Chain A
Amino acid sequence: MPDNLQLTPDGKLKHLLTLDGLPSRILTQILDTAETFMDVGERDVKKVPLLRGKAIFNLFFEPSTRTRTTFDIAAKRLSADVVTLNIAASSQSKGETVLDTVANLTAMHADMFIVRHSQSGAAHFIARHVAPHIAVVNAGDGRHAHPTQGLLDVFTIRRYKGAFHNLRVAIVGDILHSRVARSQIHALTTLGVPEVRVIAPRTLLPTGVEQMGVHVYHDMKAGLKDVDVVIMLRLQNERMKGALLPSAQEYFKLFGLTPEKLALAKPDAIVMHPGPMNRGVEIDSEVADGPQSVILPQVTYGIAVRMAVMSMLMGPTA
């Protein structure tokens, strides 16, 4: 489902709202650009001047630590001025609408909004209403999309596996409520991964998920067999006990990633997790800290990928 809202008429990135419908050409360009930023973090002076004088506002209508921090670091490494607003705790509670907040920040000469919101479609909504010179980056909207997370995940996979066309990737856990899973699925299928699997009980799968181009498994043994990449999803606390799942214990028994289950994957399979992890719920510590885990590199790569996105939206060549 293409949404031209995020591309200019000549095919350049204008906003980053979802990976759904974004051409592989753009995805590859983002990954390639991210590669060029990989060494910035290792320098003594961890800065490049690409976004000097640009004002970037982090608009977090929903709490976040990791995503907000890595966007913050990425913007600062590009020499932008960054203001972070935790709106969940400020104007929203005073009844100010999203549009009023956006209008006020536009009046403060913002150039880019990094938006996180609990409602699916919130980033689209804001992008549709901002002044034309402002770029919007979706940092997570409801269950819908988390495109920079999806990008950093495929960036990680490319770094470890080299290419996409010969891979089997399994995504395990709460697909139903996961914006991360949706963005991963779009990124993987767009970049040509021939087999993307989702593994979950029926209560944690969205209706018609097969139509997103994935194969559905309910059993870890079958689902993990011979995969190259295992992506574990976070299980939110409120879903662990109730009508979706009986208990965290039973979930871990059936769907938690243990060394034994991981042994079914290819010997060189990598293990990923968007964080924050629930050790002992979706993943065993031995796996999380083990040799196949690339969970911490994912965080590092997240900065380069976010730098790439911001520079493509706003930099001198944008």
Chain B
Amino acid sequence: MKIHIKNGRLIDPANGIDRPADVFVAAGKIAAIGQMPDGFHANKVIDAAGCVVCPGLVDLSVRLREPGLEYKATLESEMLAAAAGGVTSLAIPPDTDPPLDEPGLVEMLKFRAKNLPGPRVYPVGALTQKLEGSTLTEMAELTEAGCIAFSHADAPFADTQILLRALDYAATFDYPVWLRPQDAFLARGGVAHDGPVASRLGLPGIPALAETVAIATVLALARESGVRLHLARLSTREGVDMVRAAKQQGIKVSCDVSANHLHLSEMDLTRFDSNLHFLPPARSLRDRDALINGLKDGTIDAICSDHAPVDDDEKQLPFGESSPGASGVELLLPLTLKWAAENQVPLAQALACVTRKPAQILGVANGHLGVGAHADICVFDPEASFTVTPKTLKSLGNNTPFLGLELPGVVKATVIDGHVDYEVY
């Protein structure tokens, strides 16, 4: 398949490109930029007039709900949703049912995904068996099966001795470890940010301390073990400050923030809408502003969707009884554009947070459009907007806190591995 994407504005943050340029794809790779190669005959032309052409998005946290949780969503539905959102590479957290703690499960997942249209999937293996925080997984075997890192998803990890050993073991083989920092005891029983709004609503709180205490612990353990650490989904101002300081001290640490946390705060909870129930909780406006600025100054490396489709039966419940999680892989690009527009962030810098930088964290060569690179491309209209409704979303999860909101950025085409996997024209 040869594709000619013409008349677009090419933004490739990894190569410092932001100019009008055509893109030529052949044999799954970028064949040329700007000038059509001699003898190139496109079987497919995409007219990108008025559109941005950028590397396909790389999303560090997308739950596809397989295996085991197909009643919430399926591989088919969520991979299509990802492609519709311009996402061409995604990391899958290990909190499936059973968790991704055995090579066979990972191989099956990769095999299933490979035979479906849609993005490249990168499973993140469970750091401990059954995510119980007691026995290490076979990390070498899991890596061979396709895991690109190890994490504990949202499962509590209380025993710091075992955590240190897990980090030490991973560091032995230079396997990256991704942790969402949350002290299991301080967070116990909580469903919302412990602050004046939760107090008023009578919702049990998760204090900001649950994050900062865990970051302090994990950073100390990481320094000791030398592990490549990635902190997932920061939510507090103090957390951002701690990571900034750690980076300045030369600790090998990267971090991400979910798109939800760039736009929401505890103030949005007042209607007890269970679509606002996700983890970590949306925190204070002060925290939200620190995340916005931390991303802008580079302390936070990447934005992820933290996509977690939940079926209606588990969401249509009083707030505290509902399952946490928000569907969002299709909103990653629009919410990134909204953050950029509201905070005077140049488009190329914003797109780097969902392309080049998360690709570096994944440790893969995706996320850029140099000649010879994987032809993973997103074409979107930055001027168009759409209203978020269950109908405009392909995901089986209708659980987004942005329902009814108008968001900028409409994906026109998504090319993955040289194939057009999604197109609206």
Q: A residues near B, CB below 8 A?
A: 1, 3, 5, 20, 97-99, 117, 119-122, 124-125, 129, 141-145, 179, 182, 206-209, 211-212
Contacts and interface: CB of A to CB of B under 8 A. Distances in A.
A144 B271 contact: no
B272 interface: yes
B272 A207 contact: no
Given A97-B313, A121-B272, A124-B271, A209 B199 contact: yes
Contacts of A142: 202-203, 318, 320
17 contacts: A1-B197, A98-B318, A119-B319, A120-B201, A120-B319, A120-B320, A121-B201, A122-B318, A125-B272, A125-B319, A141-B202, A141-B318, A179-B202, A208-B195, A208-B196, A208-B199, A212-B200
Q: Indicate the member of A121, A124, A125, A142 with the most B CB atoms within 10 Å.
A: A121
A120 B199 CA distance: 11
Contact of B270 (A1, A207, A209): A1
Contact of A119 (B194, B195, B271, B320): B320
Contact of B199 (A3, A124, A145, A212): A212
Interface residues of B, number: 24
A143 B202 contact: yes
Contacts of B318: 98, 117, 119-122, 125, 141-142
Contacts of A129: 316
Interface string B323-348: 00000000000000000000000000
Contacts, number: 77
Nearest to B312: A99
A124 B199 CA distance: 17
Contacts of B319: 119-121, 125
Interface of B: 194-205, 207, 270-272, 274, 313, 316-321
The dominant DSSP class at the B interface is helix
Contact of B201 (A97, A125, A144, A209): A144
Contacts of A212: 196, 199-200
Residue among A99, A122, A206 with the most chain B CB within 10 A?
A206
Contact of A145 (B198, B202, B270, B316): B202
A207 B199 contact: yes
Contacts of A5: 271
Contacts of B271: 3, 5, 124
A258 B100 CA distance: 60
A179 B196 CA distance: 15
A107 B268 CA distance: 33
A266 B198 CA distance: 34
Nearest to A177: B202
A129 B199 CA distance: 25
A21 B272 CA distance: 15
A141 B318 CA distance: 10
A242 to B, nearest CB: 13
